[in-house]
Each structure stands twice: as structure tokens, then as C-alpha cells.
Chains A and B, each alone.
Chain A
Amino acid sequence: MWWTAKSSGVYAGSCEPIVAWDGTPQHLKDTLDTDRDGFAAVILCPSTIKPFEPQTFKDIMDVAQSHGTLVIFDEVKTGFRDALGGIQEVMGVTPDITTVSKAMGNGYPIAAVCGRHEVMDVMPTNPSAGTFSVEAIGLVAAIETLRELEAKNAPAHLRAMGQRLIDGFNQIAQSHGIAVEAFAEPIPQMPNLRFTDPNEKTANKVKDMFFREVIRRGLFMIDWHMHFINFSHQAGDIDQALEVCDYVLGQMKRTL
């Protein structure tokens, strides 16, 4: 919804059945209270929940259940990265429905909708057939990928490499005195950068210089999205990326 609603050609009224909430249990309760029987489900992307801790997730589940709504976790982005069971495993909750994709396919197209029997049993009454439904390459990729992720405990590696990148970057940024900070969004496997100069114009200038320069020196980063650590990133790769950042921030210090 967050993306669709911003797209050209989307009729504003088509988003009316959806009510946005801010990711906190209190706001969820206030929202559901406005129409106690009017909401079918609460959908959330676990990475946007604040504060990002087990108690918040438990409170959200309690609020939703007390209002008789289903809970859907969109783990397309977070699935398999922090634990094979997703953020829900780490936070100790079980939603009614979960969507997963991305990391399970290792770049191949695959997505899955999962849920408890009572909910998923509705599916046969709403057939969703498609011309390409029989395409198997994504399924094969997912089976192989999940096998690798499990055998090699990939989530632990991703976490360690993400933390190495974040800690190393912040040390370098501080040493150069550049107003930029790496942070987990919200897990180290999904690191991002925050340009912290209080003057917005300066912060944007620093951001623009940084992203243009790192690519010219051999490190591909994107300026509008969090990054993703993957299993092929080894400590040496992270350290080489940090070398580029060190070089670029050093150059910037002389220019700014």
C-alpha cells in the first residue's frame, strides 16, 4: 500500500478501505477503536514497529486479537535475515498470515503466503490461478536457498557482517568528522546511512557527494534505500568497502 498509494494512476478512493497507523500498539488500539467491528486485519512490516522489541509485538498481537482482527506480517523484506523464522521468531509471536519472498529466492522470483490452517483453508474457495503459476524455477531456487541458509546458519553471519559494517563505518565517519552515521534499520542485516548535519542543505550536499563518490571508487551503494548484507559478504569484503568509505570521507573532508 505504501508504494501503490504514491503511484501515478491510482484512484485515491481505492485506498479508502485502508487506514494507516504509526506502528505503535497505542495508535493501533486508537485506530481499531474508531470502528470496533470494521477492520478485517492488521497488516504490518515488522521492520517498522517501534520500539523494535518483543513487548511491542506482543502488545500489538493482544490489541488485534482483542478487537477480533487477523494479523498479517509482511516479512518480504525481513524474512530469513535475522532468523529463518523471520522477525516473528525473534520477537516470539505468531501472526495469522505471513508473506515472504526476496531472501528465500536468492535473486530468483518467488513469493509465498503462509498462515494457520483456519485462515489458509479459505484459499480453495477463492481460486487464484495464473498462467505462470506452474513456473518452477523460483521454487527450485527457494528449496536450494533455504537448505543453504539453514545448513550454514546464514542469519548469524549476516548479523555479524552487518554489525562489522556499521561499527566500522561509524568509527571512520567520526575520525573524519563528517556528519553521517550508519545504523541498523532495524536489524544490522539491513544497514542504512543517516546524514546528520542539522542544516538540511548541508546534509543533502554531503549525502550527494558521498554516494556519487563511492561508486566512482568501486563501491555500489544506493542513496534512497537501506542496504542488504548477503551471505557472499565476507569480512574481507566489508573491510574493503570500509576502505573505500575511508578514502571517500577523507577526500570529502578536504573539500567541504
Chain B
Amino acid sequence: MTTNTARPAVAAYTFDRSKQLFEQAMQVIPAGGQATRLPPYEDYPTYFQRAKGCRVWDVDGNACGSAAGAINHQTRQGRTQRLPRMV
């Protein structure tokens, strides 16, 4: 998993795993579980895996600085921008 953060990524990110999961999810969940970004963009991450502070990591391992608050960030392992004390 890449660890670089919001510096301009040298090699542009790809979102293959996100796309794959989205296609799977579409088979069983209306809108693939995406309530906030429709239609999904092929070159946009759809699923985030983990978060710490204002950083999020998507399922393709892309690290992003985030300015989106909690919108679009429902990670399985915890909430974004979480306080250490809570988790």
C-alpha cells in the first residue's frame, strides 16, 4: 500500500478495485451502496478502506488528503477524522 499523501502523486492513481467492487455491489445493493456519488465515475474511488486524521485510503491503496469531511467516507474499520480517544 502506498504511503504518500497529498503531494501530487507522481504516477496517477487508478481505481480498478473500486470499480470491481462497485460492479459486484450493484448485483445485490441498489446503486451499489453509493448514495452520494451517482453516477459513479470510473476514474474516481468508490470505496475507502481506512482513515486516519484527514487522510483516507481507498481499496486500491491510493492515499488521499481529504477535504470532504464525512461525506463519501463510510469506511468499514472506523470513521474518518476520528479522535484517538474514541477508538
Chain A residues at the B interface, C-beta cutoff of 8 Å: 102, 106-108, 140-141, 144-145, 148, 165, 191, 212, 215-222, 225, 227-233, 237, 240-241, 243-244, 247-248
Contact = CB atoms under 8 A, between A and B. Distances in A.
Given A107-B82, A145-B83, A231-B81, A217 B8 contact: yes
23 contacts: A108-B86, A140-B86, A145-B83, A212-B41, A212-B44, A215-B43, A216-B9, A217-B12, A218-B9, A219-B6, A219-B66, A220-B45, A220-B65, A221-B67, A225-B68, A228-B68, A231-B81, A237-B65, A240-B6, A241-B6, A243-B8, A244-B6, A248-B8
A250 to B, nearest CB: 10
B44 A108 contact: no
B85 interface: yes
A233 to B, nearest CB: 5
Contact of A240 (B5, B62, B71, B85): B5
Nearest to B64: A220
Given A144-B85, A240-B6, A215 B13 contact: yes
Contacts of A240: 5-7, 65
Given A215-B44, A215-B45, A229-B67, 20 more contacts: A108-B79, A140-B86, A141-B86, A191-B67, A216-B13, A216-B43, A218-B62, A218-B65, A219-B64, A220-B67, A220-B68, A220-B72, A222-B36, A233-B54, A237-B6, A237-B54, A241-B65, A243-B8, A244-B7, A244-B65
A230 B81 contact: yes
Given A145-B83, A227-B69, A237-B54, A218 B44 contact: no
Main secondary structure of the interface of B (DSSP, over half): loop
B84 to A, nearest CB: 10
A201 B62 CA distance: 31
B80 A107 contact: yes
Nearest to A216: B12
A215 B63 CA distance: 10
A230 B65 contact: no
A228 B73 CA distance: 12
Contacts of A230: 54, 69, 81
B82 to A, nearest CB: 6
Of A102, A221, A248, the most chain B CB neighbours within 10 A belong to A221
A220 B41 CA distance: 13
A232 B54 contact: yes
Contacts of B53: 232, 237
A248 B86 CA distance: 36
A219 B67 contact: yes
